[in-house]
Each structure stands twice: as structure tokens, then as C-alpha cells.
């Protein structure tokens, strides 16, 4: 085993320590807390190396799309895929009146935005989506971030980060 000779001071909350302790108890060799943190950092660095891109999917209210699009373009995102979708979450649809009769609409119209970004741009993009899509009311939507293994630009054959720019 490699000799470790560098110390790093880490100030952490009790909640962080509890999470680390739960993780280390699941390990076969029950590492010390500092060794557990070192391993977790290495796992995170390996993950970033393996998945340098992310796919952000946002489901938002249709009237917020233009504001969101402009915000993403302003931070340097060059490609957005937009789909009109229907669905429901906690709000479970809404009631409408048509020709005097009230009926329940379960699926609510939404807009789905898919954006492929480099890992460095994820937090900034998520913040911009939150800011642009937020009305403060139930039904504002969701943001999903997933690792993206590979991207290929069909026309040129460029791959990964070169293909999303």
C-alpha cells in the first residue's frame, strides 16, 4: 500500500460525517473516516473522468420556455431539443369546463427540454433552468441530470464534447 504523507484539514458537518460513516460501515475492510473520504473523492474523480458530459432534461411550463431558452443561450449552450409533452405530478391534473360540463384533465401540457453539456457547465445550467422556470407554484416542473456516455455529431463524426459545442 502506498505511504500517505499529506494531511488535509476538513471541516465537516455532523450530517456529512454520518453519511461517510454509513458508507464506510458497508465496506468490507471498515476503513477509517479519513480513508473513507479519500476513497470517496477518488470515486468521484474517476466518475468525472468516465462521464465528462451530462444530459439535462427539464420538464417546465410551456409559457416559460422562451425565457429558459434565452437564459441557456446566454451561458453558452448551443443546442437545445424541445418537445411538447403531457403528464402529471403532485397536482394530478386540473378541472376544466367545456360547454357547461366540468371534467377532469389528468395530463397537463408541459415542455421537455433536453440539453447535453460538459460536466463543468452542469451546475450553472441547472441554476439557470431553476431561475427561468420558477413561478413558485405547484407544477413548475422537474430537472433531471444524467451521465452521458457518448455523443456523436452525425455530419462530421466528432465525438463527445466536440460534438456538443
pLDDT tens readout for residues 143-164: 999 998 888 889 999 888 777 7
Looking at the structure, tell me whether residues 60 and 93 fall in a common domain.
yes
Statement: residue 77 has pLDDT above 80: yes
> How far is the C-alpha of 87 from the C-alpha of 38, rounded, in Å?
42
Q: What is the 3-state secondary structure (H, E, C) of the chain?
A: CCCCCCCCCCCCCHHHHHHHHHHHHCCCCCCCHHHHHHHHHHHHHHHHHHCCEEEEEEEECHHHHHHHHHHHHHCCCCCCEEEEEEECCCCCCEEEEECCEEEEECCEEEEEEEEEEEHHHHHHHHHHHHHHHCCCCCCCEEEEEEEECCCECCCCCCECHHHHC
Q: Which residues pair with 94 in a beta bridge?
A: 105
Statement: residue 142 has pLDDT above 90: yes
Statement: residue 19 has pLDDT above 80: yes
Confirm whether 21 is domain-assigned: yes
**Considering its fold, how many domains does the chain have in total?**
2
Count the neighbouring beta carbons within 10 Å of the beta carbon of residue 79. Answer: 13
Confirm whether 9 is domain-assigned: no
- Measure the N-to-C terminal CA separation of the chain; round to a whole number of Å: 42
pTM for this model (two decimals): 0.70
Q: Which domain holds residue 105?
A: 53-164
Return the pLDDT at 15.
94
Looking at the structure, tell me whether residues 59 and 38 fall in a common domain.
no
Looking at the structure, tell me whether residues 88 and 64 fall in a common domain.
yes
Looking at the structure, tell me whether residues 87 and 30 fall in a common domain.
no
Looking at the structure, tell me whether residues 25 and 64 fall in a common domain.
no
Average pLDDT (96-115) is: 82
> 7 with 35: CB under 8 angstroms?
no
Looking at the structure, tell me whether residues 84 and 139 fall in a common domain.
yes
Q: Residue 77 sits in a domain of what CATH number?
A: 3.30.70.120
Average pLDDT (33-42) is: 90
Return the pLDDT at 67.
96
CA-CA-CA-CA torsion sign (113, 96, 131, 76): positive
Looking at the structure, tell me whether residues 84 and 36 fall in a common domain.
no
Confirm whether 73 is domain-assigned: yes
User: In the chain, pLDDT over 90 holds for what percent of residues?
Assistant: 51
- In this structure, are strands 141-148 and 81-87 parallel, antiparallel, or unpaired? unpaired
Confirm whether 7 is domain-assigned: no
Looking at the structure, tell me whether residues 149 and 75 fall in a common domain.
yes
Looking at the structure, tell me whether residues 157 and 96 fall in a common domain.
yes
Looking at the structure, tell me whether residues 157 and 77 fall in a common domain.
yes
Looking at the structure, tell me whether residues 153 and 78 fall in a common domain.
yes
Amino acid at each position: 500500500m502506498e505511504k500517505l504523507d499529506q494531511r488535509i484539514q476538513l471541516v465537516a458537518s455532523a450530517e456529512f460525517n454520518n453519511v461517510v460513516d454509513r458508507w464506510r460501515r458497508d465496506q468490507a475492510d471498515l476503513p477509517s473516516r479519513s480513508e473513507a473520504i479519500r476513497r470517496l473523492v477518488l470515486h468521484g474523480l474517476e466518475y468525472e473522468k468516465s462521464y465528462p458530459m451530462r444530459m439535462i432534461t427539464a420538464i417546465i411550463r410551456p409559457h416559460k420556455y422562451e425565457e429558459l431558452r434565452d437564459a441557456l443561450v446566454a451561458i453558452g449552450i448551443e443546442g437545445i431539443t424541445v418537445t411538447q409533452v403531457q403528464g402529471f405530478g403532485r397536482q394530478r391534473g386540473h378541472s376544466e369546463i367545456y360547454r357547461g360540463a366540468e371534467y377532469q384533465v389528468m395530463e397537463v401540457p408541459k415542455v421537455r427540454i433536453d440539453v447535453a453539456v460538459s460536466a463543468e457547465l452542469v451546475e450553472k445550467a441547472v441554476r439557470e433552468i431553476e431561475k427561468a422556470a420558477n413561478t413558485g407554484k405547484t407544477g413548475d416542473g422537474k430537472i433531471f441530470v444524467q451521465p452521458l456516455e457518448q455523443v456523436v455529431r452525425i455530419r462530421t463524426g466528432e465525438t463527445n464534447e466536440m460534438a456538443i459545442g
